[in-house]
Chain A
């Protein structure tokens, strides 16, 4: 076998069962890749020893026929998931010494299914960013970079880069406004943000509670289905998680899509749409049509307000969620004679620029006298955006849009850094999905003229992840995207 780290998870599981190689050999191969690719800066914390111990256990389980669903699959974990006894930083200075004494529900589910953790993946600080440049631990380099170092997207930039560069078989991500889908698109990976409430948020460092969802980033659609199967489920420790049975997602892979109604939102077809994006969107429509899917034009009239709505609500929740990082009980503590100085010094030094910006925006929009004009209005708009989708879904089963208006851009790009709005605009196709709490997947569709991957997004009805996998697997098969 040439390179066992290039296999997909479903291929790897078959090979492990077949004893083509052991989980320990596989883990060592990934650890060796990680060693060789340190320059990508995909991992914040590596835990090779722990991974090899787990691999040994997996090998024993295979030997005795006790192998579980994900037995021996080496994964990377976004460093926003609390992992018991493994440092969890959220890519922030304020948590750079934090070792949780508990395990998040999602990672616990993966461990229970036999997955191996290779380490903690880099991200934008507290998942706030779309380029992984806000990480206290430095930017991640997109493995597709040639002459210029490119961003992997964000916030799950480390996750997407690690999957693309085969530094793990699959990775966990979180998505608040596009943080799984956009980096997956930038790095030529597949990623799904499930329905809000599908995965437990327990143990995931909170950014914006009403929008955050965990999901996988992997090499292909089937791998995403396999990982999500393990990650999802009701959890009584998260009151917003839904008590709805998790279907067998893998069964949807390769299922006939004829008759499936695919909606194309007319508002997304703007004149200044990137030529490549437009081309691949059109191509996707044709590929789906060839397989018998019915294309419908749908309308999402309030979609133009999604971005401002998101950038009011997400910072509002974040400003409150991040209040606990005060230097009193854990994490970084600044010097201070009095309580107020201690708070000020801790939070001034402990948080990066983008995080502070969002805390200030969030504090402002919740302040007396501004609440109605910003927060309340945004909440109302959120409801209208949700209603738009529900109306559209009366005419279709899925909605197809591009994932991002652009391909990966250079690290330190002057245009992106000149104004935070320029960066926020990259989330234009993804944020409305979080506002409506819907599931959506991004899969790589082809390369733009600049040689960089582009992604397509399939949005589903609440809890219709299966239908998304069904259509995505068909599109994937026809798109013939070539991974690194």
Chain B
């Protein structure tokens, strides 16, 4: 897709790279045994290591390493068998040791790529520069008291994966599609819950612009901790406009850290480059280098779940879904699993259609997640089966679905109890048709004189009188026979 921002003066192109911090799903913190539980009372999940007590030493949590390797494989990235931890030194009240243990020169995951699906049906490869693991800081709470800051160290030491992309995004939409795709991959893998509003996935956005057609990389500005996909897209849009305006007024964009304000959608200066920290990175002497065997990596690769792209392809190839339907269904693993269960031995395309329409609409209306759905996957499959076997019509099926959504009952039972079974008995249908013909001599006359498009009207009337139970194709057949004779 061409993404050009055209002003009165020139054509511009956006260049964006993302850095995403993802909290690792693990029972305990990355360098201590304390719990990672979210939402507990302040400072209850804090070990002596997390609090930076004298003489305390970090020990690496193997589960976090495993999760990072899984994630790396999910990003189609190179897993580095040798990686190192470093200290990033800076003072802040919620950083108890005065340094963050992170990876600097030798990250655990190297280059990779993620395919994003775009609105025009096309897809695009986004390069991953690297991913490293590190510890999170605690939280400073400034708004509980007018003159005090409170510190909560529950989050201090929780494992993070920092994913750095290449500057491959050319529009806000691409960045949005990437974040959704990344979230989907992480949730499939079970390595991060991807909840941006809870801060378990946080995004730093690097934006620059350049004249369209050029391949230079101009000065970029970084916006830290933008906490929703929508805000990331907004931030890119508005920051790019701001930079273009600067250039078009013969100014220069200055490298700086800017803050995105969700209430205005605008960005403002947070920290100029000359006030940037000197983090004095150096190798963490308390932790030996992290060396992984090829066998260890292969074992994780072997046990990897089917990822959204592979699943999508399978749904297209073997289940006959359209690429769009497959993409929507595969974005969320629970949805994809539901779909697979529902379409087992049933018409997969029909199941997909039902899910994309009535089923999602119902969940939305009831504000339920898929695992809370009153309609089970088996029951949705059975409903589709009833339609396929002409037991009920599509129209009746909608009615049955409404009842299923209220009661959770299976469709056979509903159809049976309510007597909704389609009438396929030709004698009964013929009786109704005869009544329709007898009651509407004018239309019969008109039809016979050539107004054959009235056929639909006769079919409709007949089905209506059957209270929807008459099988439409049988009705159609019989009416033709009677009228054409």
Contact = CB atoms under 8 A, between A and B. Distances in A.
Q: Do A and B come from one complex?
A: yes
Interface string A224-246: 00000000000011111000000
B58 interface: yes
Contacts of A240: 285-288
B148 to A, nearest CB: 11
Contacts of B96: 324, 328-329
A137 interface: no
Nearest to B94: A328
A101 to B, nearest CB: 7
Interface string B274-297: 000010111001111000000000
A461 B53 CA distance: 33
Interface string B245-289: 000000000000000000000000000000000101110011110
Interface residues of B, number: 30
Contact of A239 (B51, B87, B92, B286): B286
Contact of A328 (B151, B281, B282): B151
Interface in B32-75: 48, 51-60
Contact of B59 (A102, A236, A375): A236
B54 A205 contact: yes
Interface in B275-323: 278, 280-282, 285-288
A268 interface: no
A14 to B, nearest CB: 34
Contacts of A201: 55, 57
A interface secondary structure, majority: loop
B408 interface: no
B136 to A, nearest CB: 17
Contacts of A317: 282, 285
Interface in A117-155: none
Contacts of A322: 98
B250 to A, nearest CB: 32
B82 interface: no
A367 interface: yes
B288 A239 contact: yes
Nearest to B97: A324
Nearest to A212: B285
A239 B55 contact: no
B87 A204 contact: no
A343 B91 contact: yes
B99 A210 contact: no
Contacts of B97: 323-324
Contact of A316 (B58, B98, B151, B282): B282
A235 B282 CA distance: 25
A104 B91 contact: no
A476 interface: no
B54 A368 contact: no
Given A339-B93, A367-B280, A324 B59 contact: no
Given A239-B60, A328-B93, A375-B282, A82 B52 contact: no
B466 interface: no
A201 B59 CA distance: 12
A136 B55 CA distance: 19
A326 interface: yes
B87 A320 contact: yes
Contacts of B149: 339
Q: Which of B56, B280, B287 has the most CB of A within 10 A?
A: B280
B89 interface: yes
A330 interface: yes
A351 to B, nearest CB: 13
Nearest to B90: A323
A322 B52 CA distance: 10
Interface string A89-127: 010000100101110100000000000000000000000
A239 B58 contact: yes
Interface string A335-373: 000010001000000000000000000010011100100
9 contacts: A90-B54, A102-B53, A203-B56, A239-B60, A239-B287, A320-B99, A323-B97, A329-B96, A366-B282
